Structures are given as structure tokens and as C-alpha cells.
Structure 1
Amino acid sequence: MKRYVPFAILAFLVILTFIYPSIQVVNSNGKIDAADTAWMLSATGLVLIMTPGLAFFYGGMVNKKNVISTMFQSFICMAVITVIWITFGFSLAFGNSIHGIIGDPRTFFMMKGMLGNQVWKLAPTIPLLLFAMYQLKFAIITPALITGAFAERIRFNSYVVFICLFFVCIYAPLAHCTWHPDGLLFKLGVLDFAGGTVVHMSAGWAALASALYLKRRNEPNHSPARITYVMIGTGLLWFGWFGFNAGSAMGANPLAVTALATSTTASAAAAVCWINVDLLRGKKPSAMGACIGAVVGLVAITPAAGFVSIPHSLAIGVISSLVSNLVVEWRTRTTIDDTLDVFPCHGVGGMVGMVLTGVFAHKNINGGNTTGNGLFFGEWHLFLTQLEALVGVSIFAFFGSLLLLKITDMITPLRVSAEEEAIGLDISQHGEKL
């Protein structure tokens, strides 16, 4: 009977399209700006390309027999999360607030009231529907980031169940708390410009929980299938990240330019730092190391991109790269099998970025959204607020993910058999091979 459940869900959604048509045009006082709209349409496409970029990035790092399965785990998020988002997911993240924790799923159910010139209060110059589609791309890539932690040993059907639960129970509440004007963290003054907390910390802690829950692979050592895939993926991620960070300015404005500049600066600095740390250890400068460093820099600057200066973004790139490199080295000496080091790179990178936002943020960069200056400028309040949020989000994301993994495992076993793992997930899960 279990195999018919997905068909029943899809059938129900199709029936909803007939009995709940969303064709009402809502006219508000929003003044749509053509330039802002054009930029945000472009930024939405840029963020979407990051998920295929991530697929290449991860796919090139795993064993050849697991390339397709690893890449497909990223691609399927574009389909599954979109369906959830259109139905009720956007409402959970940005609907009418329920105690500052989660949105009312009825607010924009089936995209109700999304046509016309309706706008989001924090993005008053673009259509609400465009804002929803832009935010969808963040919701898509977040569960995809987790896949690197349990690569080469998770059942595909179980993975799909888990990402659905993760979106509803972890991602949506964090997005609402952080980015909704009535959200709990938003009201506390927590700064997260483009997703260091909502995206990278949540995915990083879920990755660590997954690595611990699924335990080690039977063959923990492997050779990357295609370093060239990793380099292509890094290029697509860096390219798309301009939409990720600069797009979070919600318009074609000077703040978007600042976010673009700080993003590319931090990424470049982190890549250089990673190579140099490897050289100090006596290693050769590697393409893989440069790519990982560049992505770590992008992760760390994400929460700070619209709040810090360009020189400080350079410092954020260097510090995050150094810290993540050290955590990767530490992780290799433990029994934690985070296959592609998602937690050291995304989780730790996001936390470093969140803390350094509290250090380097200044009201002159983004006065409209910054309640105070960072620790570097002699003020403590913002820094302590960021630390408090970091602890709270970490506890919620880690233990919440552990619980969801257990629930998923009870519904359908998470881990493939030893025989399936030995054959490779491309064949055992999908019947395909390179």
C-alpha cells in the first residue's frame, strides 16, 4: 500500500486545483518598480541555478557508482519542495504569524490572493508572487545541502520523506522567525541578510544529525569521481550566489551592489586562504581545496552581505575559511562520517558568518534594517543577540532533525542494505549508471 501513497497525494492536489482555483486579482497600494522587478526576476533564476550547481559540486566528490544518485537528490528538491511551497509552504514561512513561530497555512493557500499588484511589506516594489518565487529557491536548496552528509548510503524514497518533514518542521519555522516582520528572531533584532541562519545553519546541523544517525559507510574511503564536476559546480554556485545575496536587497539598488561586492570578495579571500592553509600543512594546492574554500566564503558572507563593508568581508572570508578548514581536519580524526563535510563547511561557515555579522555590522551599510553596530565598533547588544540566536537555532535544528530522522526511519528505513551500498546507489536506487 505504501507505494500508492504518493499517487494519492498527487491526486488530492490535482483535485484541489479544480475546487480551489486561485484566480482572484488583488489590487493594493503597492507601487511596482520595473527595474526592481526585472532584477528580482533575474535573481530568482540565479538562485535556482545554484541547485544544479550544488548537484555538480557534490556529484563530483563521491564515488563514481553514486554520482547520479547524489546529483538526483539535489534535483528532486526542485520538484518536491515547489509542490509543497505552492500548496501551503509559502504560507508556513510568510503567512500571518502564529506567535512569531510559524505562519498560518491558510494565508496564501494554493497561492490565494497572489495575482495583481499585491506586495510583501518588506519588498514593496515587486509583486508578491515574485517575492514568493524568489523565496522558493532558498527553500529548495536548503534540504539539498544536507545530502552531502549522508551521500552513498540513504534510500531515495526515505530521503524524499525526510526533506518534506524537514521543510515543514525546521526550514519553515526558521524562515518565519527570521524573515517575517512578526517573527520571533526578527523582533529580537537578529540579522540574517540572505540565509546564514535559515539556510546554512539549519542544513549544517541537520547534516551532522544525519551523519550521526546513519553512522559510517561500509567503505568510508573513496576517490572523487570528477574534480571537473566540482569546479563546474563551484562556478555555478558562485554565479548563482549573486542572486542569493544581492537579490536579498529586494531591488536594483545600492544595497544590492554592496551585497554583490562583499560576496565575491569573501569568496575569493576564502579560496586563497584555504589553499594557503593546505600549503602550510605540506599539501599541494588543489582544485578541490580552492573550490571548497570559495564556497565556505560564500556561506559565511551570506548573513552579513548587506550589513558589512567590503574590507570586513575580506576578513570574514579569511576567518571562515581558516575555521572550517580546521574543523574539517578535526572531523577526519573522529568517527563522524559526514561524507562531504557539510557540517564543517555549511554549518560552521554559517555560524562563523552569523557571529561575525555581530562583529562587523554597521548602520551606515544598511541603516534601515540594522538596530545597532557590531562589536568591532564598541557595541555589544547586536553581538550578544547573534550569539543567543546561534545557540537557540543550533539546538532546534540539530535535535529537531534527529527527531525527524527517527520518524522517517519508522515510516520507511533510511539506510540502504550493505549489498545495495556495495553495488552503488545509482544502480540499486535508480537502475542507472554513468
Structure 2
Amino acid sequence: MKKLLVIGFVCPEPNSSAAGTRMLQIIGLFQKQGCEVTFASAAQDSDFMVDLSKFGIHKVAIKLNDSSFDEFVKAMQPNVVLFDRFMIEEQFGWRVIENCPNAVRILDTEDLHCLRIARQKAFNQNRPFSINDLLVEDVAKREIASILRCDLTLMISEFEMDLLQTVFKIDFSLLFYLPILLDGFEASFEKKLPSFEEREGFVFIGNFLHEPNWNAVQYLKEAIWPKILQKLPNATLKIYGAYPSQKVLQLHQPKTNFFIMGRAEDAQEVVQQSKVVLAPLRFGAGIKGKLLEAMQTGTPSVTTTIGAESMQGDLPWNGYVSDAVEDFVDAAVQLYTDKSIWLTSQQYGFSILNKRYQKDLFEGVFVERLHHLLSAIEEYRRNNFYGALLQHHTLASTKYMSKWIEAKNK
């Protein structure tokens, strides 16, 4: 039986973020191929992490900058190692190369961190984002180096795949488009969803450890919700999200029908009972789990260009996409009050799910690519000279920095 080692940034929390859901989906693809899966992480356990043993996954605690990992991975000898985000590859990639040189190394980006960070910096400086911002971003240098060192990088966004190829000249053979995977939407499920008349209120949902979500809630509170309330004085907006800080909780204002609800026990149930999802994201990257969840629950949404980026292809959006406050407000009010537009938008969402996120569209192609890597890894790596070059210099720098930290800690 083949062995997969996943080295996690954190333990998956599928009820807290789309990242947790995606990680379990990727692991599931390997398990269907008969892989034995071990999940290792240096992160502390959380109260909301999933019980991996229920999925047949062995969980192991590891340490940063500690040679005990070398002994662990050498004894395990995995066939495939999956790094959860580039920071994890930086920490453990060189150790995997030294102790398991034949293991296929796969990076899961979740989203392109350098893009999200560069956009946020441009936003904070009150100026438009430019591709040149990426070229001077230190995180970009680290993230691109990590992508080049790995045999394959999983990308959640087609826009980001194109960006890597055009801006950073990454070869297509090193990238694989794998969005969040969903089962096909069946017409029978639609009949079980609450109707337009049975739903009420607007909703926003998102993990508050993610800065774009916190910024979007501030934007809603200060600029968007007061204008919606003028037109719909009886409407409510409920804000759900894991890990709300005190500054988030202080925005709770029942007098203006603005409610901070905290963590949702069942996110899909919360969104399903709402009439419209609001997601005015002003920076960020990747595809947005909250907007896929809106489509899955038949709930139309209003979002921004950043929010909808790379999600719909050439299909109509599940509601409206608008970057201007007045247009955003008008779209929200129209969706909330016009049943015909609401129903049409709902159908658009179902179409996006079926044509762009069905598991069957990607599962077979991914397995085929994986088998090819496993059978011809030496030939594959010969064609990635820059990856070999970066590995050489990593082993001469990151390795000794880590060993120095380990010695210092002792």
C-alpha cells in the first residue's frame, strides 16, 4: 500500500474555513487510491479540529527545527508528501529531500499568499494593485521558490495559475488546477431548500482570522449596511464566523439590525435560512468557500470582483458582482425584494456548481497525473532545473539555519 504524508499548517477545521474542507477532500482522493494517510503537524490542537481518526487518518505531532522529524520521516518512507502551504515546505521540504529523496513532493497553496498580501498592502496604501507589486513582494520570492522546489503544486484558482505562468514564468507541468470539489447538484435537492418566502435576512459568514473577512465586515458596517437599511428598514444582517475578536464583537448593534453571531454550529443551515449572502471583499485571493456555500444552499449573493474571481468562468453569477457601494446596495435590495431575479440567480448558482466544481470533472485527471509522477519522477525532475537549483541552495541555507535554531534551543 502506498503511503501519503500530509504536513499540515494547522489541523483541519472544516467547520471554520474552506481550507479545512479542501484538505479533507484532497486526502480523500488519495484514500480512494488505497493510500495509507498520516497527518503530521507542529500546530497545537484546537477545540474545533476534526477527529482525523474517524476518517482513517493517523495523526502525528511533530516539532519545528528538530531532527526528530528526520527520524520519523525516514522510518515512514512515504511515497508522496503533501505540504499544506509554502511555509510548511520551507520548514520541512529539505528534510524530506534528505531522508526520502524518491518521495513525490506536492504543494497545496490554498490561495496564492503573495497575491493576497500584495493586494492588501495596496489597499492599505489606498492605491490600485499592480502586477509590479508582486515582483517586489518578499513573500512572492519565498512562495515561488517553494513552487519550483516541489514536483507539483495544486492551485485552487485558474486566475492564479495564469498569473504564475505569465508573471513568474512557471512551467505548466508544475501546476495542477484542483478547486474545491463538490458532488453534483441534483434537482431533487432543490425541492428540499427553503423557498424565497420562507427565508429572511442578509448574512455574511467567514473565519475572522482571515484579514479579508474582517475588513469586509467593517465595510458592511460602515458603508453598506446603513444604505441598505434606509431602503429596507425591517431587514437584518447576521455576521457569522469562527474566532471573532473583541473588536469584532463590539460591532454588534441590534438597534440597527446588525448582529454579530459568532461561530455557526452549522454554516450551511445558517446560509440556507437566509435570503441573500453579502460578501464585499476588497482584497484577497483564491476562490471563496462562503460563495460556493451560498450556491450549494440556493442562496444568491452579492460580492465584488475580488470575491467572484476565478469562480464562475464564463457563466452568469449567482446574483450580482459590484465594486461600487451604491451599485452593491441596489443589487442587494433587488435580490432581496424581487422573487423572479432571486430565482434566476439561484439557478445560475446551481449551474456554476455542476459545470465547474463537480468532483467527477477533476478526480480522474488528478489520479492520472499522480500515477505519472510516481512512475517517472526522475525524468520529471530532470526537466525542472530551476527546482534543482533552488533545492541546492536551500540545503545550503535553510538547512543550516534550522540546525542552528535547533542547537540554540537545546
State which structure, 1 or 2, has the greater radius of gyration over its C-alpha atoms: 2
Q: Greater strand percent: which structure?
A: 2
Normalized against structure 2, the TM-score is what?
0.30
Q: Greater helix percent: which structure?
A: 1
Q: Which structure would you say has the larger RCO, counting Cα contacts within 8 Å and 6 or more residues apart?
A: 1
Normalized against structure 1, the TM-score is what?
0.29
